[in-house]
Amino acid sequence: MGHREAQSKRASRAVAEILSGAQLAERGEPARAGPSVRAEYEVELKRVAEEVAAGLGGGLPREAAWPLIAQLAGGVLIALADPELAEEITGATLTGLREQAKAASQSGA
């Protein structure tokens, strides 16, 4: 397995952990955790953002990914709060993210 492929698999696992809440449930809220947990969380968040930015194309900086990641995390959080609307919320969130990602990759922003 090449370095890039391994990095992509690690980033995918990080996204799954962050969005599922497993990392928060296991370690508690990162802001209230100890320095080592916060440092590990930061490393994983940066890796995810770099992977998302790379997926947008055009050599975009990591910062270009944060709005998409924040919207995805917010959509997941809201969907978890209301099981009756979860499918509608996640569908609308993913549709909006796809449109934003497409626009970002076309504009290079």
- What range defines the domain where residue 74 resides? 3-107
How do residues 43-81 score in pLDDT, each as one tens digit? 988 988 888 888 777 678 888 889 888 888 888 888 888
Where does the pLDDT of residue 85 fall: very low under 50, low under 70, confident under 90, or very high at 90 and above?
very high
How many Å from the N-terminal Cα to the C-terminal Cα in the chain?
31
Backbone angles phi, psi at 28, to 5 degrees: 85, 175
pTM to 2 decimal places: 0.63
CA distances from 15 to 27, 84, 106, 109 (A): 16, 24, 24, 22
DSSP 59-72: T--GGGGHHHHHHH
Separation CA 68–CA 62 (nearest Å): 11
Q: How many separate domains does the chain show?
A: 1
For residue 28, pLDDT over 90 is answered with: no
Residues 90 and 47: their CA atoms lie apart, in Å, by: 23
